[in-house]
Amino acid sequence: MAKKDQETPLMKQHREIKSRYPDAVLLFRVGDFYETFASDAVIAARVLGITLTKRANGSASSIELAGFPHFSLETYLHKLVKAGYRVAVCDQLEDPKLAKGIVKRGVTELVTPGLATGDKLLENKSNNFLAALYLTDGISGVAFLDISTGELFCAEGDEAYMDKLLQSFQPSEIILAKGRQKYFREHIDNKTYTFALDDWIFQDTYAYDGLLQHFKTQSLKGFGIEDMRAAIIAGGAALHYLRDTEHSNLQHISSIQKIIPGDYLMMDRFTIRNLELLGNGEEHSMSLLKAMDHTQTPMGARLLKRWMMLPLFDLYKINQRLDLVTYLIREQDFADQINRDIRQVGDLERLISRVPLKKASPREILQLGKGLQHMQAIRERALQSENTVLRQLAEQVAPCTELQERIFRTIDEAAPAVAAKGGMIRDGVHEVLDDLRKISRSGKEYLLAIQQQEMQKTGISSLKVAFNNVFGYYLEVTHVHKDKVPADWIRKQTLTNAERYITPELKEYEEKILGAEDKILALELELYQQLLQSIDPMINAIQLNASIAAQLDCLLCFAHNAVTYNYHRPEICEEPVLEIKDARHPVIEQRLPPGEQYVANDIFLDNESQQIIILTGPNMSGKSALLRQTAIVTLMAHMGSYVPASAARIGLTDKIFTRVGASDNLSGGESTFMVEMNETASIINNISARSLILLDEIGRGTSTYDGISIAWSIVEYLQERKERPKTLFATHYHELNELENRLQRVKNYHITHRETGNQVIFLRKLAPGGSRHSFGIQVAKMAGMPAALTQRAEEVLAQLEEKHQGGSPALEQVKKMKPAQHFQLNIFDGLSEDLRSIQHILTQTDINTLTPVEALMKLNELKNIVKAYE
């Protein structure tokens, strides 16, 4: 590294700026390039695949360097942020042509995973949340902020509640105090990108003042969070982070929405994962969200996800949504018309957020105008409807007609994608601009016109208009004609055979024409900025429009799903009951091969006669599917959606918990029995009479007897407690069926099958009573296990079952097990189906009746089968 006094001024400037952003990769604008230096260059070269070079740094030593053209910024920024880097964009703050000495530079934006606004960094259908977490041993606080939409949520509660919300909002970045980062990563989440801030930032007075300053209010009472200290600290930290990362124009973050635990049906992270609500993020993975999402706008898609993660716990609000869905199903034509407009609205929410951030392009502003036009059409149509709620929604739509007009009047229909090069302002908007354009377009003709005019006036046939850099436009006259030159012409130059003059008219014109293009651009940009500024006061109204469009989009999507997939309206009630007729699993159903039909099942649970169902049945029969569909129908009902069932009466539910026996969670690296027990403990400690619990093979992660004992006592515990949560318990421990005889509210059910020969056919119908077998060995056969192995398994099973009748302990049974009699491999075991057919052909052939030709043909047939394996 060069010594400071040997540095070039540019490198000195770079070092000073970089010292303020030590954690970020600094993209340093030099002319038409963004350059990176030293360790930043090494990172940039590796992540972006650009060339790393070395350059002398004003001294004998050299420094690494890697750069890319400025117009590739969005692409490269995206790659760096996706790779988990924070990126500081350092721009030239003055026109290099006008700069005295070194050009002034400064960081204009610090982009981090949670603070992305560029199109390339954002996914249409997902919010990009930054979470600020104030983690304490008591009441913690969290704020979720999406800078690309302007939404800000906050909440407070215990650590488990924070965890639930983090799982629901899935932030791209979590900021928290330095002192808590280690704990957070070790105990809560070690996957999401985190960034630690100084501990002092998480202080109540600092946070409170920061929020007041931002919202320009006297208190936070209007947002209902005045007394939520932890939530305020989190919100304040989020805003501090925005200031720290050079985000200053944030008028679009105009309110805080608080999340109150009792307002929503809660699910924890295991439940969200087990029910496969959001999928695993891979493109082709299936999820409930994908199965349900037929929204028309990105705003609708984002809201649908939120409705799924925060289903309502409020009879009135749920019914309000259901009423609207019912109305939209009934009034098909009306729904179609609204749908057509919604489709054209575009992503109003993200569009409007780009205005204060100064990132809105002319085309986006044009789309904003069109979006508002369609909102106006929706408003007018919905105001005619006889549905009161719809009319109330429509009344809140602000058509912003004046703004629409201004946009269409100002922005050219064929506006460019970026403002920087101009060409977006229409003719007729500004007189000076029109003049300049006229001059620029007709410059040459105008000069010719002057030439003609002066020729005629003076009678000088050799006169011509020309231009040079020294004195601009001039009139040139050969010496022979110089007597005819009028007195008011000013002579500027004498050449060997000609004289050059200027006139006041020519100079006046010259002033106009010279730099007309520059002036046009500057004026266009000024007019564009004025237009953007005039949108600022409308931001809140437009955000409200966006929110109404998103709600309508979701409700229309529910109506569409109900009609397309034959869903029905659930009845939500206060009584703690769950009664579903012909329930189906919406995701499995959509993925069934053509011609196959999903077998629907009824389910009934309450907290009197049938609080707990012990569900047994063969492997692969559909136990897990039945459990999940029960939860999903309940969840969909609480979202305000119709459900995949012919009828449903669903008691208002506060929590859905699902737990799957340990080995199902392998993907998370959490296959230990400890995790299974941890998760189960968190259920047992958090339930109420309104909760729905699904336990899928709990206890299987340990030895059989330990597992049965734990499962047994869990059922006893759930039935005996004062609050009686509705519970479905799927298990292969048939011993648990005994509980029905001992406990009043426990009932046995099984999923039916039929045995033909040694085959099992799944009927998938739920029926009362337990089942005795799991048919695991049949499933192993279906999966292609060698016959000798499954035969031996059948022997072992028979012996165990025989001994078990006598009641001897497991270890004793195993010790007394007869050794395998015939564990030699049959030559056809483990071979493919095709080779098995050789066996079949040989055993079916009667050699005594075979003619020599037939024998040869058989031989050929066998040879062909074997040939395929050579």
Ligand X SMILES: Nc1ncnc2c1ncn2[C@@H]1O[C@H](COP(=O)(O)OP(=O)(O)OP(=O)(O)O)[C@@H](O)[C@H]1O
- Residue nearer to ligand X on the CB measure, 489 or 733: 733
If one counts every other C-beta atom within 10 angstroms of the C-beta of residue 215, the result is: 19
Phi, psi dihedrals of residue 97, rounded to the nearest 5°: -65, -30
Minimal distance, residue 697 CB to ligand X, in Å:
7
Is 255 among the annotated ligand-binding positions?
no
Minimal distance, residue 777 CB to ligand X, in Å:
13
What span, in angstroms and rounded, lies between the C-alpha atoms of 783 and 512?
84
Is 469 among the annotated ligand-binding positions?
no
Residues contacting 381, CB < 8 A, separation 6+: 334, 337, 338, 341, 394
Residues contacting 355, CB < 8 A, separation 6+: 252, 532, 535, 536, 539
What span, in angstroms and rounded, lies between the C-alpha atoms of 722 and 254?
45
Phi, psi dihedrals of residue 6, rounded to the nearest 5°: -100, 0
- How far does CA 772 lie from the centroid of its chain? 45
Q: Alpha-carbon dihedral of residues 636, 641, 646, 649, nearest 10 degrees?
A: 70
Minimal distance, residue 613 CB to ligand X, in Å:
14
The token pair that represents 579 in the structure block: 């009664």
Is 497 among the annotated ligand-binding positions?
no
Q: Which stretch binds ligand X (CB under 6 A): 218-226, 454-462, 496-504, 612-620?
A: 612-620
Q: Is 752 in the site for ligand X (CB under 6 A)?
A: no
Minimal distance, residue 284 CB to ligand X, in Å:
16
Q: Alpha-carbon dihedral of residues 407, 413, 416, 418, nearest 10 degrees?
A: 10
Q: Which stretch binds ligand X (CB under 6 A): 193-201, 266-274, 301-309, 622-630?
A: 622-630
Minimal distance, residue 601 CB to ligand X, in Å:
6
The CA–CA distances, whole Å, from 167 to 107, 310, 559 equal 33, 11, 28
What span, in angstroms and rounded, lies between the C-alpha atoms of 578 and 725?
11
The residue nearest ligand X at its CB is: 622
The token pair that represents 540 in the structure block: 């809140």
What span, in angstroms and rounded, lies between the C-alpha atoms of 711 and 728?
12
Enumerate the β-bridge partners of residue 206: none
Q: Which stretch binds ligand X (CB under 6 A): 127-135, 272-280, 402-410, 616-624?
A: 616-624
Q: Tell me, what amino acid is at 538?
A: M
Residues contacting 377, CB < 8 A, separation 6+: 341
Position among 622, 699, 701, 725 found at the interface with ligand X (CB under 6 A): 622
Minimal distance, residue 79 CB to ligand X, in Å:
38
Q: Is 620 in the site for ligand X (CB under 6 A)?
A: yes
Q: Is 749 in the site for ligand X (CB under 6 A)?
A: no
Q: Shortest CA distance to 632 belongs to which of 308, 293, 210, 182?
A: 308
Interhelix angle 332-345/362-383, nearest 10 degrees: 160
Is 621 among the annotated ligand-binding positions?
yes
Minimal distance, residue 120 CB to ligand X, in Å:
37
- Residue nearer to ligand X on the CB measure, 41 or 751: 751
Asked if residues 164 and 147 have their Cβ atoms less than 8 Å apart, the reply is no
Q: Is 598 in the site for ligand X (CB under 6 A)?
A: yes
- Residue nearer to ligand X on the CB measure, 303 or 766: 766
What span, in angstroms and rounded, lies between the C-alpha atoms of 437 and 519?
10
Q: Is 624 in the site for ligand X (CB under 6 A)?
A: yes
Position among 621, 630, 727, 813 found at the interface with ligand X (CB under 6 A): 621
Minimal distance, residue 701 CB to ligand X, in Å:
14
What span, in angstroms and rounded, lies between the C-alpha atoms of 63 and 731?
65
Q: Which stretch binds ligand X (CB under 6 A): 256-264, 486-494, 621-629, 741-749?
A: 621-629
Is 49 among the annotated ligand-binding positions?
no
- Residue nearer to ligand X on the CB measure, 156 or 589: 589
Cross-sheet strand order for the sheet of 464-468: 464-468, 472-478, 498-502, 490-494
Number of chain residues interacting with ligand X (CB under 6 A): 12
- Residue nearer to ligand X on the CB measure, 368 or 636: 636
What span, in angstroms and rounded, lies between the C-alpha atoms of 751 and 770?
9
Residues contacting 356, CB < 8 A, separation 6+: 249, 250, 251, 252, 536, 539
Asked if residues 256 and 235 have their Cβ atoms less than 8 Å apart, the reply is yes
Minimal distance, residue 582 CB to ligand X, in Å:
11
Minimal distance, residue 732 CB to ligand X, in Å:
6
Return the biggest CA–CA distance within the chain: 137
- Residue nearer to ligand X on the CB measure, 172 or 624: 624
Position among 302, 500, 560, 764 found at the interface with ligand X (CB under 6 A): 764
- Residue nearer to ligand X on the CB measure, 498 or 588: 588
Minimal distance, residue 266 CB to ligand X, in Å:
25
Q: Is 658 in the site for ligand X (CB under 6 A)?
A: no
Q: Tokens 């029109």 — which residue?
A: 434
Minimal distance, residue 283 CB to ligand X, in Å:
21
Position among 623, 655, 659, 700 found at the interface with ligand X (CB under 6 A): 623
Q: Is 832 helix (H, G, I), strand (E, B) or coil?
A: coil
- Residue nearer to ligand X on the CB measure, 171 or 586: 586
The CA–CA distances, whole Å, from 584 to 631, 634, 763 equal 11, 12, 14
How deeply is 231 buried, as exposed, middle or buried, from its count of CB atoms within 10 A (0-12, 13-18, 19+)? Answer: buried
- Residue nearer to ligand X on the CB measure, 395 or 755: 755
Q: Which stretch binds ligand X (CB under 6 A): 532-540, 620-628, 665-673, 676-684?
A: 620-628
Q: Is 780 in the site for ligand X (CB under 6 A)?
A: no
The token pair that represents 625 in the structure block: 């599917």
Is 661 among the annotated ligand-binding positions?
no
Residues contacting 501, CB < 8 A, separation 6+: 474, 475, 476, 477, 485, 489, 490, 491, 492
Position among 521, 563, 588, 785 found at the interface with ligand X (CB under 6 A): 588
Minimal distance, residue 615 CB to ligand X, in Å:
9
Position among 196, 521, 599, 793 found at the interface with ligand X (CB under 6 A): 599
Q: Which stretch binds ligand X (CB under 6 A): 390-398, 530-538, 618-626, 640-648?
A: 618-626
Position among 625, 636, 652, 683 found at the interface with ligand X (CB under 6 A): 625
Q: Which stretch binds ligand X (CB under 6 A): 131-139, 346-354, 537-545, 617-625?
A: 617-625
Is 617 among the annotated ligand-binding positions?
yes
Strands, E assignment, 498-570: 498-502
Minimal distance, residue 262 CB to ligand X, in Å:
33
Interhelix angle 204-215/229-244, nearest 10 degrees: 70
Q: What is the Cα gyration radius of the chain?
A: 38
- Residue nearer to ligand X on the CB measure, 78 or 764: 764
Is 623 among the annotated ligand-binding positions?
yes
Q: Tell me, what amino acid is at 500?
A: R
- Residue nearer to ligand X on the CB measure, 67 or 661: 661
Minimal distance, residue 587 CB to ligand X, in Å:
10
- Residue nearer to ligand X on the CB measure, 611 or 778: 778
Enumerate the β-bridge partners of residue 174: 131, 194
- Residue nearer to ligand X on the CB measure, 178 or 568: 568
Q: Tell me, what amino acid is at 669?
A: G
- Residue nearer to ligand X on the CB measure, 264 or 775: 775
The CA–CA distances, whole Å, from 53 to 37, 45, 57 equal 10, 9, 12
Q: Which stretch binds ligand X (CB under 6 A): 623-631, 645-653, 717-725, 805-813?
A: 623-631
Position among 8, 478, 551, 619 found at the interface with ligand X (CB under 6 A): 619
Enumerate the known binding-site residues for ATP. Answer: 617-624
List interacting residues with ligand X (CB under 6 A).
588, 598-599, 617, 619-625, 764
Enumerate the known binding-site residues. Answer: 617-624
